[in-house]
Structure 1
């Protein structure tokens, strides 16, 4: 085997993905093996960067079909660029909601209100976590000192 090629087990270990996931991504056309070493698939080292992108996109909620299109996108694909911009906006909103929820939980961790879920600051922050906000308008965490 060429020393620069990685065996499927090594790719799985380095990427943190199961060999079955690699075979699935291959079947869907997202990655391509360089060949075989006996019965085992081999890959070029750059497959690891490709897999990192796929893993990140999956974690952000992209479908396999969306990732497939993204991986072959050309600057002239205006429709895809619009969908990517829309997805980026959606992610900004999700990040804002999660940030507000995180801040609410941090407040609850130090709040002395009894019971915690009846704390007005916590209720307000949790209520805000469910609302769509404009990007960049993430409220700061409620001040835990109010209940001390």
Structure 2
């Protein structure tokens, strides 16, 4: 098994060495010794870094991602949390589609006033329905 030094891992993944050292510090990855002053990693670190990147892209925190890895390196996926995250992403996609359509309409609408345009008003109504109301902290409500 060919070991890779931290520079090669950084080059192959696009993850800066400082981030790799941080990931090691918090237990997301681990090195298997050093060659001189350079940390050495097994090739499976590339897959692990891909999983970390995927989790971050999906909106999971590093703490949540770390909890998905068991001590033996295997995955322990929280399926209910994954379903909840997928549902959240689906809601965001709907919101983004409405926003995209509104922006395109505003850019292309020939109406002299957008506020008088029935299509624009319909898009604004849809946009206000898709946004979930945000709860104010108790201090702000008083």
Q: TM-score, normalised by structure 2?
A: 0.71
Question: Partner of 2:68: helix, strand, or coil?
Answer: helix
Paired residue secondary structure (1:128) = helix
| Cα distance in 1 for residues equivalent to 2:108 and 2:80 | 43
Structure number with the bigger relative contact order (C-alpha 8 A, sep ≥ 6) is 1
Q: How many residues are aligned here?
A: 127
Q: Which residue is 2:8 aligned to?
A: 10
Shift >6 Å, 4+ stretches? none
Alpha-carbon spacing, 1:87–1:119, altered in 2? closer, same or farther (3 Å):
same
Q: Do 1:35 and 1:41's aligned partners in 2 also have CA atoms closer than 8 Å?
A: yes
What is the CA deviation profile of residues 104-126 of structure 1, one whole-angstrom value per residue up to 9, with x for unaligned ones? Answer: 33334433344668755345435
| Structure 1 gap ranges (5+) | 134-148
Unaligned runs of 5+ in 2: 132-142
Q: CA deviation at 1:129?
A: 4.2
Match of 1:33 among 31, 34, 55: 31
Aligned residue for 1:21? 19
Q: Distance in 1 between matches of 2:110 and 2:29?
A: 52
Q: How much has 1:71 moved relative to structure 2? A: 2.6
TM-score, with normalisation over the residues of structure 1? 0.68
The alpha-carbon deviation at position 18 of structure 1 amounts to 1.2
Distance in 1 between residues matched to 2:38 and 2:61, nearest whole Å = 28
